[in-house]
């Protein structure tokens, strides 16, 4: 009888273990197929001509290493004092470049040129977004800026949310004059684990966008901006990025600000970029 009870317990334990393995196997097999739908929210509709949205702006195109032709807006510097510095704006995971026009115009008025890019699959661009694809897009955008007269030594990489992962990796490959990280995260897996604690996010996530890994080894002058009421990227993750940046110049914590509040796209952010530009000019 004792042996029979032990056998039953072992059999139940094996069943539980098999069930766990099955659940993990299904997660590993299925989640990668749908996870990009949970990461990227592109507005793929074509955008209007640049000059119709921002005074003096013009449309530009550039080609990625895997053969895509991407559209972007180049906004020449305006204002009374021009710094001969450009800002490469790498947006977050939603919308398209038309939604960042106000911030680009704010930067233009402060004497900074801007390349407002869209990733593949966004703003009428061909292709589908992925981490490796976005890295190719940003590298091609930096090359386009250099052809426009702004090499990396006279460029500030500005990343917004998911774009912080894009510019952090770009900076590791092609160092810039400065780096601005708006609402950064340590790594995308940390954000996913926060929002989906019941899923094995760290095990199955394909597109990881490691920010701290790149920032921690960079001495490039860096500004970190985030809101203390961010409901998408936990503020403590942004704080860790600032804590680990050897080249940290300024940390700006905006009281009461959520991830996509207007203040995150307005003059306060533009002024922070300007202060960094003046320092590195």
| Pairing mode, strands 69-75 and 58-63 | antiparallel
Tokens, residue 204: 């199955």
Which of 279, 251, 110, 274 lies closest to 182 in space, CA to CA?
251
Which of 88, 150, 76 lies closest to 119 in space, CA to CA?
88
The CA-to-CA distance between both ends of the chain, in Å, stands at 83
How is residue 231 annotated by DSSP?
Answer: S
Separation of alpha carbons 58 and 268, rounded Å: 25
Alpha carbons within 13 angstroms on the beta-carbon side of residue 115 total 33
Lowest-pLDDT range, 87-101, 170-184, 186-200?
186-200
Q: What is the tens place of the pLDDT at every residue in 38-71?
A: 889 999 899 999 999 999 999 999 999 999 999 9
Domains and CATH numbers, the chain: 40-280 (3.40.50.1820)
Count other C-beta atoms under 10 Å from residue 281's C-beta. 14
Q: Is 179 helix (H, G, I), strand (E, B) or coil?
A: strand
Separation of alpha carbons 50 and 67, rounded Å: 23
The residue ranking higher by pLDDT, 242 or 41, is 242
Most confident residue range from 7-16, 33-42, 64-73: 64-73
How is residue 220 annotated by DSSP?
Answer: S
Which alpha helices (H) appear in 80-196, and where do they start and end? 101-109, 131-147, 162-173, 188-195
Residue 19 reports pLDDT greater than 70: no
Which of 128, 184, 181 lies closest to 156 in space, CA to CA?
181
Q: Is 249 helix (H, G, I), strand (E, B) or coil?
A: strand
How is residue 182 annotated by DSSP?
Answer: E
3-state DSSP helix/strand/coil % of the chain, to nearest 5? 45, 20, 35
Query: For residue 81, how far is the Cα from the chain centroid?
Result: 29
pLDDT, position 108? 97
pLDDT > 90: percent of the chain: 78
Q: What is the tens place of the pLDDT at every residue in 197-209?
A: 887 888 888 899 9
């Amino acid at each position: 009888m004792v042996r029979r009870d032990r056998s039953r317990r072992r059999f139940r334990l094996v069943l539980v273990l098999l069930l766990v393995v099955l659940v993990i196997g299904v997660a590993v097999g299925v989640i990668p197929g749908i996870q990009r739908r949970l990461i990227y929210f592109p507005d793929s509709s074509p955008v209007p001509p640049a000059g119709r949205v921002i005074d003096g702006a013009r449309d530009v195109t550039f080609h990625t290493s895997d053969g895509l032709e991407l559209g972007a807006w180049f906004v020449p510097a305006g204002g009374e004092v021009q710094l001969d510095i450009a800002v490469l704006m790498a947006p977050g995971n939603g919308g398209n470049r038309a939604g960042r026009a106000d911030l680009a115009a704010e930067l233009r008025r402060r004497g900074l040129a801007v390349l407002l890019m869209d990733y593949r699959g966004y703003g009428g661009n061909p292709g589908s977004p992925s981490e490796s694809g976005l890295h190719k897009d940003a590298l091609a955008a930096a090359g386009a800026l250099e052809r426009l007269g702004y090499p990396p030594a006279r460029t500030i990489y500005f990343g917004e949310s998911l774009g912080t992962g894009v510019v952090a990796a770009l900076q590791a490959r092609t160092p810039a004059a400065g780096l601005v990280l708006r609402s950064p995260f340590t790594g995308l897996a940390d954000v996913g684990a926060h929002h989906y604690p019941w899923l094995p996010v760290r095990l199955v996530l394909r597109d990881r966008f490691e920010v701290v890994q790149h920032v921690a080894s960079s001495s490039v002058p860096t500004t970190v901006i985030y809101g203390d009421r961010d409901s998408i990227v936990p503020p403590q993750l942004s704080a860790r990025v600032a804590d680990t940046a050897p080249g940290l110049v300024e940390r700006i914590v905006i009281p009461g600000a959520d991830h996509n509040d207007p203040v995150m796209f307005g003059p306060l952010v533009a002024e922070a970029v300007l202060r960094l530009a003046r320092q590195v000019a």
